[in-house]
Amino acid sequence: MAGVELILSESRMHTFVQERLSGCIIAKDDKVPFSGPPDDDLFDYVRRQFRQLFIKHSSFANDEFCFKQHTYPDGTEIFLVDQFVGLGHLKMLTLPLIGALEPAYRLTIGYQSFFVLGDAHIPPSPDLKKFYTSTINAAKKRTLKLEIFKGRSMWFESDLLKSVPNILDTVRAAYRR
C-alpha cells in the first residue's frame, strides 16, 4: 500500500477533512453498515481510539462500498468494509496520540495495490492516484518531515510543533511501548 504518515492537531485534522474530503463518501466498520459524507459523528468516532476509514470520490469511483457482516465468538456482530471489492478507495488510519498536551492524531493515508472488480484484479486507476496525490499534498501543507528513528519519518504539522514542543518525543515514545 502506498501511504504517507502525518501528525496533525485535532483542529488541523478537522480542517483537512472538511476542506479536502467534504465531497467524498466515507465508510467505516461499525455495528451497522455506514457510508456517507464526513460529519461531526465521524469526528467523535475517530476521537476515541484507532480507526480505519475508507474514502471514495466521484473522480475515481462511482460504485458503493460493500460490507461483510462478521460475528465474533461472543456473538457480537459488526459490518466490515470489504477492502478489496470495487473500483477503489483511499484508506485513512487515525490514531489519537496519548500523552500529547493538546489533542493530536497520527494519520496514515494510502491506497492498496489492487482491487477486485467482478472476478478480475484491477490496479488503482490513474484518477485514484491523482486524487491521492492531491489529498496528500493538501494534508502536508504547513508540515515538516521529521525522523522518528533511523529509516522512519513522518510529516508533523508546523503549528503543532510550536504549540506542543515535545510532540516528537510523544510520537517516539509510542514506538518504545
Domain membership of residue 170 (yes or no) is no
Domain membership of residue 169 (yes or no) is no
Domain membership of residue 98 (yes or no) is yes
What does the pLDDT look like over 101-132, one tens digit per residue? 788 999 999 998 888 888 889 899 999 999 99
CA dist 17 and 156 (Å) reads 17
Domain membership of residue 70 (yes or no) is yes
Reference 174, options 94, 99, 103; nearest CA is: 99
Domain membership of residue 103 (yes or no) is yes
Domain membership of residue 165 (yes or no) is no
Provide the pLDDT for residue 71.
95
What does the pLDDT look like over 39-76, one tens digit per residue? 888 888 888 889 999 999 999 999 999 999 999 999 99
Q: What are the counts of helices (DSSP H) followed by strands (DSSP E) for the chain?
A: 5, 12
Domain membership of residue 157 (yes or no) is no
Domains in the chain, number: 1
List, in sequence order, every beta strand (DSSP E) within 38-157. Answer: 51-56, 67-71, 77-81, 90-96, 104-111, 115-117, 120-122, 143-149, 152-157
* Helices 126-139, 10-20: inter-axial angle, 10-degree rounding: 140
Which residue segment(s) compose the domain that 27 sits in? 2-141
DSSP state of 142: T
Domain membership of residue 75 (yes or no) is yes
